Amino acid sequence: MTEQNSLAVDFCGIQLTNPIVLLSGCVGFGEEYTRIEGFSNRDVGAICLKGTTLEPRLGNPVHRVYETSAGMLNAIGLQNPGVDHVVREILPTLDFSETRFFANACGSTIDDYVEVVRRFDDSPVDAIELNISCPNVKAGGAAFGNDPEISARVVEACRAVTGKPLITKLSPNQTDIAENARRCIDAGTDAFAAINTLMGMAVDVAGRKPVLGNGQGGLSGPAIKPVALLKVHQVYQVCRERGIPIIGQGGISSGADAIEFMLAGANLVGIGTALFYDPLICPRISAEIEQYSQQVAADTPRDWVGQLSRP
């Protein structure tokens, strides 16, 4: 095992220098993070770009972010300039020699998803993440990702318009995440990101109203880590025989956290909320993963992915 390639990972045929992925919405469209002094692709394998819709969106009213005792709530509302602007104006400014970039496609209808994916297919992004936690306007606002049938329909429709790897981002706010994963695999997904945020709220006691302008938001950070670990392990039971990789995410803030997710079945690990209080946390997590890999005499992290002993 050499220092140069000890953390290298193959993900859907994409060669990553490291199993760490920076999560969508946490580093904008990438340039906000890669320009930080000390950034290195030695410590970050890929960046998932901000959620992108077909048309520009202004997002939700303020307040949009609220710190909790063990994480944060966010209700940004997918503010973004629209996919055409991202493809024509933003992607050309990114240095694709620095790291890999995954797009994040969002929509209010299945047709929206298809058009966003179609435009990203004709771009240099390496893969496309489907954010199926978006509200389905044709189903009264229920999230696409909370219904296995509708989730699969989104994946199937997007699969038809792109040859790039599709990563389906699974919601924890559903009855059976494993069944949803199974249906999405049959529909053509290449990978999963698990999990998206849990829904929560905060209350302004003095004002007797919700703190967030949207009323509710997504809870992330260490508070959701136990839930995320369980969901990753449940999805892994479906994925392991089919060779479908998982990006495990939800409250990771240390190398030990990342290792737990990989033992539970994650091939890559996503860092999000931790970046808000420590933008350069990735080198430390990367070093801790590498140290563990050396301790267990593994050539690469994939050698211990999913290697939980039975309770």
Residues designated as active site:
134
**Edge-to-edge, what's the strand order for the sheet holding 65-68?**
65-68, 71-74, 217-220, 198-200
Spatial separation of the C-alpha atoms in residues 118 and 112, rounded to whole Å: 10
Structure tokens at 25: 């919405």
Determine the length of the chain.
Answer: 311
List of residues 6+ apart from 269 with CB closer than 8 A: 19, 20, 21, 247, 248, 249, 252, 257, 258, 261, 262, 285
Angle between helix axes 148-159 and 110-121 (nearest 10 degrees) is 30
List of residues 6+ apart from 134 with CB closer than 8 A: 78, 106, 107, 108, 143, 144, 145
The C-alpha angle 273, 277, 280, rounded to 5 degrees, equals 95
Contact between 286 and 7 under an 8 Å Cβ cutoff? The reply is yes
Structure tokens at 164: 């790039």
The total of other beta-carbon atoms located within 10 Å of residue 56's CB is 14
Structure tokens at 239: 């994925």
Contact between 113 and 157 under an 8 Å Cβ cutoff? The reply is yes
List of residues 6+ apart from 6 with CB closer than 8 A: 290, 293, 294, 299, 300
Spatial separation of the C-alpha atoms in residues 104 and 270, rounded to whole Å: 14
